[in-house]
Amino acid sequence: MNGGVTAPVSPDEASRLRALRSYEILDTPSEAAFDRIVGLAARLLHAPMARLTFVDRDRQWCKAASGGGASSTSRDGGFCARASLGDAPLVVNDAREDPRFSENPEVSGEPHVRFYAGVPLRTPDGHKLGCLCVLDQAPRAVSAEQLGVLESLAGIVMDELELRRNQQILEKQAYAVDAALQEAERNRHLFERIAHTSPEVIYVLELASRKNVYANRNAAALLGYTQEEIEVLGDGLPATIIHPQDLPAVLGHFSEFDTMSDDGYTELTYRVRGVDGEYRWLRARENVFSRYRDKRPKEILGIAADITELKRIEARLAELATTDELTGIANQRAFRERLNQLVAEGERGRAFVLCMVDADHFKRINDTLGHPIGDRVLVHLAAALAREVRRVDQVARYGGEEFAVLLVDVDEATGASLAERLRRAVEAIETPVRVSASFGVAAYSRGMSAAELVEAADGALYAAKQQGRNRVATAVGARATKARARAELPPQPRSPGASDRSAPPPPPRPRQAPPRG
């Protein structure tokens, strides 16, 4: 992004540029890890565009983008060039009103950027290489929590860069070691000196026996073994310390070395159990270390990084993306994903029921007792619903005081019975105010879309509200009640001499949303 305002330069620009080049990231192809982080930033901050940008001497270069964006632009007037100068995130609520960026071509022209929020990518030494940012075509604000999420994702980017750089360094070391060992008839002393000073796990495995020929100190320290114990682990190594879910992939990848060239490698991620019984995640890169005289692979060299903490962060971010912050249950996004999955299974014959739940008189609670009490009611209501369902079912906050419950492998009658149990559980909640809820139940039938099922359950919820609240109504019952009401309507007046066939039909009655509160 370039513009009419010259971007300022860091006081230690030369050192910063050296740090940037040390990662060897500029002008590299797209990589799935960075693409996923950028996509996650766009989704979590509800932004149509997100970018991972590195600031070079005279340009901004985009490594990954979600929603489109130029791959390389001038540094002058650039958002990311300025964002990478400070320690704090840079937030521009309306770029047209900001003299620093109003002349930027991406503000005045496509893609018409108005909002920008970016956090710097900071190395362990404090150098700022670029930024991770989100953009929008409309002015907007960003919360402190959202900036915190963006900063966490920027930290993951730096973790990936550090891991990438370390692996590149270690690969060069490993290849240098391999050449030295071949020339010096496998001089293990040189290899051990290099490997023991490495921050990564390094090991040499004999393919035929799958026995550790060598493992450095970090390999032993990571798992809690002594150096001698880890080096004598033999044929039982995979079965005893590899996670059962990862074992097939670990065992299966050994065949890849049969056709691998000397400069080829394989990558895999798996869990390893330590002496304490805890599993740790490793991301390993392996290549052929030595060959028999007939060129068959004999040993493989592995360089692995401990990515356990990175996995924990990724799992936490995934949980935040699908969990309602107030109640701790699934949010609407998670509900829609599960509903779409069940609709696909329903087309193959699986039965399930959707139950829409609405807290009765909730607006009155908020208006008279205040929102903190209202929030407590919602938390207790969500907990009561979650306690009564099975593991296979799902309780989600649909919005405001409305919840959705997916009951699997039941028909509408059974679903109504289970909903009645949920209703009684809600009624039994002990809070400063009496709590009740209305329930609308609809069963899935083949050919229905997810939206149609939600509409059917919502219609049943409307009927439950109309019938006095604090009760369960089914979609079938709601349709029958509506049919009876129509049958009781007085006949439409007709002009003299007009036949039934010529009489125009009555206008359709617009569908009303269920009364809330």
What stretches of 300-411 show up as alpha helix (H) in DSSP? 308-322, 332-346, 362-369, 371-388
DSSP designation for 501:
T
Element (H, E) at 239: helix 237-241
For residue 381, the domain's CATH number is: 3.30.70.270
Using an 8 Å Cβ cutoff, are 267 and 279 in contact? no
Using an 8 Å Cβ cutoff, are 484 and 477 in contact? no
Would 155 be classed as within a structural domain?
no
Closest CA to 116 of 70, 68, 59, 48: 48
Residue 78 has a pLDDT of 81
Virtual torsion, Cα 17, 22, 27, 29, nearest 10 deg? -150
Cα(55)–Cα(78) distance, rounded to whole angstroms? 9
Q: What is the phi/psi pair of residue 75, to 5°?
A: -75, -30
Question: Residue 261: which residues within 8 A CB-CB, separation 6 or more?
Answer: 288
Q: What is the phi/psi pair of residue 163, to 5°?
A: -60, -45
Q: Are residues 479 and 357 in the same domain?
A: yes
Would 240 be classed as within a structural domain?
yes
Would 350 be classed as within a structural domain?
yes
Residue finishing a domain among 267, 283, 311? 311
Q: Are residues 132 and 191 in the same domain?
A: no
Residue that the structure tokens 């979650």 belong to: 386
DSSP designation for 360:
T
Q: Are residues 230 and 357 in the same domain?
A: no
The total of other beta-carbon atoms located within 10 Å of residue 224's CB is 14
| Domain extent at residue 384 | 323-487
**What distances in angstroms separate CA 227 from CA 218, 233, 279, 316, one per listed residue?**
9, 11, 19, 34
Residue finishing a domain among 125, 148, 171? 148
| SS (HEC) of 57-122 | CCEEEEEEEECCCCCEEECCCCHHHHHCCCCCCEEECCHHHCCCCCCCHHHHCCCCCCEEEEEEEE
Closest CA to 275 of 232, 235, 230, 320: 230
278 included as an active-site residue: no
Q: Is the dihedral of CA 22, 27, 32, 34 positive or negative?
A: positive
pLDDT in single tens digits along all 517 residues of the chain: 444 455 677 788 899 999 999 999 999 999 999 999 999 999 999 999 999 999 998 899 999 999 876 677 888 778 888 888 888 899 999 999 998 888 888 888 888 999 999 999 999 989 999 999 999 999 999 999 999 999 999 999 999 998 888 888 877 776 766 665 566 445 556 555 565 556 677 888 888 877 777 777 777 777 777 767 766 654 445 567 888 898 888 888 888 898 898 888 888 898 988 888 889 898 888 999 889 999 999 998 888 888 888 888 887 777 778 899 899 999 999 999 999 999 999 999 999 999 999 999 999 999 889 999 999 999 999 999 999 999 999 999 999 999 999 999 999 999 999 999 999 999 999 877 889 999 999 999 999 999 999 999 999 999 999 999 999 999 985 565 555 555 555 655 544 443 333 334 344 334 445 555 5
pTM of the full structure: 0.44
Cα(7)–Cα(130) distance, rounded to whole angstroms? 13
DSSP string, 242-278: B-TTTHHHHHHGGGGGGG--TT--EEEEEEEE-TTS-
Q: Which residue among 106, 286, 401, 402 is the active-site one?
A: 401
**What distances in angstroms separate CA 32 from CA 42, 385, 513, one per listed residue?**
15, 39, 43
Q: Are residues 301 and 328 in the same domain?
A: no
Would 156 be classed as within a structural domain?
no
Cα(418)–Cα(409) distance, rounded to whole angstroms? 12
Would 158 be classed as within a structural domain?
no
Residue 414 has a pLDDT of 95
Residue 511 has a pLDDT of 42
Q: Are residues 220 and 256 in the same domain?
A: yes
Q: Are residues 395 and 474 in the same domain?
A: yes
Count of domains observed in the chain: 3
Question: Residue 192: which residues within 8 A CB-CB, separation 6 or more?
Answer: 214, 216
Element (H, E) at 282: strand 279-291
Residue 503 has a pLDDT of 37
Q: Are residues 399 and 377 in the same domain?
A: yes
**What distances in angstroms separate CA 278 from CA 275, 452, 517, one per listed residue?**
8, 46, 48
The pair of structure tokens assigned to 396 is 């989600």
The pair of structure tokens assigned to 366 is 């908020």
